[in-house]
Structure 1
Amino acid sequence: MKTALILGASRGLGLGMAKEFQARGWQVIGTERSPSDLRTLDVTVETLDITSQEQLAALRKRLDGQTIDLLFVNAAVASADAPAASVETQDFVDVMVTNVLSPMRAVETLDDLVPPTGTIAVMSSRQGSIAMNTNAGYEVYRASKSALNQLMRCYAVRRENDPRTLLLVNPGHVQTELGGPGAVRTVEEAVPPVVDTVEKRAGQGGFFFVDYNDQVVPW
C-alpha cells in the first residue's frame, strides 16, 4: 500500500484529495491546524501549522522511519484583490510566508522520507504563470504562486540528478475558500483529475508545472 502525506488536508482541495487517495487504496496521512472534517475519514491525522518551523520539525520526528510515496503540500491563503502597492506590509508578508516560504520549508524538512520512486508535489495555480497573466487582479496571491514556482525550480535545479518526480499542480478554478462560490467546478469534480495526474506522473522523474488534465502550464 502506498502512502500519501497531504499537508493542508482539513478542507477544500486538501480534504478532497485525502478522500480520493484513501478511496483508491492509499494509506493517507493528512495534516490539520485544528480539529476538522479530516477526522471523519479513515486516515491518520497529524496536527500542523505549516508556518511553524518547530511543528514541521516535530512532524518529521514523528514520521521517522516512514516511507512517503507522495508528499503533497497544499497550504495557501488568499489575498485582497488589489494592486500590490496598496496592500498592508504585514498582509503581504503573511501571504508570502504561508504560500511560499512555509511550503518550501515543508518540502526541505520532509523530502528525505520520499524514496527515489516517489513524488513531491506542491499546489500551485495558473495565477502563478507570468505568461498567462492577461487580466491582473489578486496581485499578491499571483506573486506568491510565481515565487513558489521559482523556488521549486531552484529546488529541482539543486537536485538535477534526483530521480523523484517533482510537480507543481494547477487544479483549475475550484469552488473553495480561495476560488470562491463562482468557480467553474466543485471540489468533487476537481479532485479526481488532479489525483489522476499525480498517479500518472509517479515514477517518471523530472520537474513539471502541470494542470489537472496533465497539460504543461507555461511559466
Structure 2
Amino acid sequence: MTTTNSGGHSEAPPDSGGQILLIGASRGLGLALAREWQRRGRHVVATVRGTGRTALHDLADAHPSDIEIETLDVTVPEQISALRDRLAGRTFDLLFVNAGVTNQPEGTVAETSTDEFVRVMVTNALSPLRVVETLDDLVAPDGTIGVMSSGQGSVANNERGGHEVYRGSKAALNTFMRSYAARRSEDRRPLVLMAPGWVRTELGGDGARLSVEESIPNVVRTLDALADRPGLHYVDYLGRTVPW
C-alpha cells in the first residue's frame, strides 16, 4: 500500500509506463523535476525528508492522480529499507536520486569541521549509493537509474577551487557510481550522473546562471535521450559529456 496525500492509503496505480521514483523533491530542483514529469504525463512517486507540509504537497493536491508522496531521510538506512518494503511489487521506469546538501563556499577542506565534512559526505556521496543499491531492483530491466551530480564534481574542470567539501562530495559520488557500474557491467540499464548547471534555487543561490525553467526541462529531455543507451554517463543538462 502507498501513502496518499490525505494521509490514508490507496492501491498502487497500475504500472502503465512512465513511472518515476524521485528521491528528494520537497523543494528546488527536485520539486521542479516532479512538476516537469507530471506535466509530461508521468506518474511520480516522490519523497520528502520530514513530516511537515512542503510545496510538493501543494503539487500533489493539485494533481492527486499523478503525484504520490513518501517520507524518506536518505541518511537513515532503515528508512531506505522501509521505503523498499512499502514499494515492493512496483516497477519504475526511472529511479532518480536528487537528495543532497551544500555548505558554505568559503574555507578549505582543512578548515571544515569534522561534523560538517561528515554531514556533506554522508548526504551527498554515501546515502545516494545506499538508495541506489537498495531500490535498484524496483527499476525495470530497461529502465534508467540516475543521480543528481554536479559540474563541480569534475576533477578535470576544477581550476579555481572553492566549494571544496561540496566538490569533493560530488566527485566521490561520481566515483562510487562508477564502481557500482563496474560491478554490474552486464546490466543494460543506463546509469546517469546529471550535472544540472548552476541553477537559481535555495541551494544554488540568487546569483546562479540558470533559471529552473532553463535547466529542468532539459534535464528531463537528456534523461529521456539516454534511456536506450546502457552504461554510465556523466552529462550536463544539455546532454554534453562532463570531463571526469
TM above 0.5, yes or no, is: yes
Whether 2:91 is the aligned partner of 1:67: answer: yes
Whether 2:143 is the aligned partner of 1:125: answer: no
- Trace 1:153-192 onto structure 2 (pairs within 5 A): 153-192=178-217
Shift of 1:33: 1.2
Residue 207 of structure 1 aligns with an amino acid whose one-letter code is L
For residues 166-211 of structure 1, give each alpha carbon's deviation from its aligned partner in whole angstroms, at most 9, with x where no partner exists.
Answer: 0000000001122110001111221000000001111221111000
- Name the CA distance, whole Å, in 2 between partners of 1:30 and 1:203: 24
Whether 2:139 is the aligned partner of 1:114: answer: yes
Aligned to 2:28: 12
For residues 116-173 of structure 1, give each alpha carbon's deviation from its aligned partner in whole angstroms, at most 9, with x where no partner exists.
Answer: 1100000000100000001100100000000000000000000001000100000000
Aligned to 2:3: none
- Name the CA distance, whole Å, in 2 between partners of 1:63 and 1:191: 26
Whether 2:47 is the aligned partner of 1:23: answer: no
- Name the CA distance, whole Å, in 1 between partners of 2:82 and 2:147: 21
Counterpart pick for 1:211 among 218, 229, 236? 236
- Trace 1:32-181 onto structure 2 (pairs within 5 A): 32-34=48-50, 35-41=53-59, 42=63, 43-81=67-105, 82-181=107-206
* Local SS of the residue matching 2:45: strand
TM superposition score normalised by structure 2: 0.88
- Name the CA distance, whole Å, in 1 between partners of 2:139 and 2:181: 14
* Local SS of the residue matching 1:15: helix
- Name the CA distance, whole Å, in 2 between partners of 1:196 and 1:136: 30
Residue 12 of structure 1 aligns with an amino acid whose one-letter code is G
* Local SS of the residue matching 2:126: helix
Shift of 1:213: 0.4
- Name the CA distance, whole Å, in 1 between partners of 2:69 and 2:140: 22
Whether 2:220 is the aligned partner of 1:195: answer: yes
- Name the CA distance, whole Å, in 2 between partners of 1:65 and 1:122: 23
- Name the CA distance, whole Å, in 2 between partners of 1:218 and 1:189: 22
* Local SS of the residue matching 1:208: strand
- Name the CA distance, whole Å, in 2 between partners of 1:129 and 1:178: 19
Q: Which has the higher helix share?
A: 1
Shift of 1:4: 0.5
Gapped regions of structure 1 (runs ≥ 5):
none
Q: Percent identity?
A: 55
Counterpart pick for 1:2 among 18, 31, 45? 18
- Name the CA distance, whole Å, in 2 between partners of 1:192 and 1:71: 17
* Local SS of the residue matching 1:182: coil
After superposition, the CA RMSD in angstroms is: 0.8
Q: Which runs of at least 4 in structure 1 moved beyond 3 Å after TM superposition?
A: none
- Name the CA distance, whole Å, in 2 between partners of 1:208 and 1:5: 19
Shift of 1:39: 1.2
